[in-house]
Structure 1
Amino acid sequence: MTTRLNPYISFRDNAREALEFYHGVFGGDLSMSTFAEFQMSDDPADADKIMHGQLEAANGLTLMAADTPSSMEAVDSSNITISLSGEDETELRGYWDKLSDGGNVTMPLDMAPWGDHFGQLTDRFGVAWMVNIAGQGGGQGDQGGQSS
């Protein structure tokens, strides 16, 4: 199995709604399991909450999420931003438009000093995103950290 790195987002009581939203953004296959399905909670209030959800988009994007059980403290994720970057302007602008629906655009998707189109937003679930669309210069500002 190939080693992968992908976001795993924790929610408080709305992971199902968030995963369904991201499924609408990215498409692909969505699977969700509740705490009750695996007998993983003593609190009946947690039974229908998502213990593990995984979205596998056809283009290889993977996003995982879960609800934080009521017995645990919900951790503030304001120190994490998910970055989407690449050259397919139509695809990336489509993600931008869907993610920003109901969210807060903190930096409009516009031409950046490095020649790419770049923007930042916080979606309706409080998750921060950056989108970078490589410009004619070959993506010198690509937030993915790739080098030649």
Structure 2
Amino acid sequence: MATINPYLNFNGTTEEAFNFYRSVFGGEFAAVQRFKDVPETANVPPEDQDKIMHIALPIGRENRIMGTDALESAGHTLSPGNNFSIAIGADSEEEASRIFNGLSQGGQVTMPLEKTFWNAYFGMLTDKFGVQWMVNYDYAPHK
């Protein structure tokens, strides 16, 4: 069955926020990826290269908080309501497709469900109630 975790968006303060969360919850980051680490790095302005593309902090046995810097240079604007998503970790491509297709009915797909450079099947959408969702199936599970 799928896992559900909050995915937080910050305006350039993701690293600071997650260092704070780590000081509160303890543990080590399961993932830290900067924009300079992605294949499309040429499209990212120099001032955004060291910002966080993805970070994950395990909390407890099965939970994580995850986050990213929403880049203004990529046209992202944060406001109350779009500063977080609910991230679904599916157990298979089939489950990811079923969940994604179900949630997107009457909503808006912002990134189609597809294979990604980080070895996952991933898509994003806003459902008909305005809730943002990220659906992900990892081909190689995180340790």
Superposition TM-score, scaled by structure 1 size: 0.47
Larger RCO: Structure 1 or Structure 2 (Cα < 8 Å, ≥ 6 residues apart)? 2
The structure richer in helix per residue is 2
Please say which structure displays the higher CA radius of gyration: 1
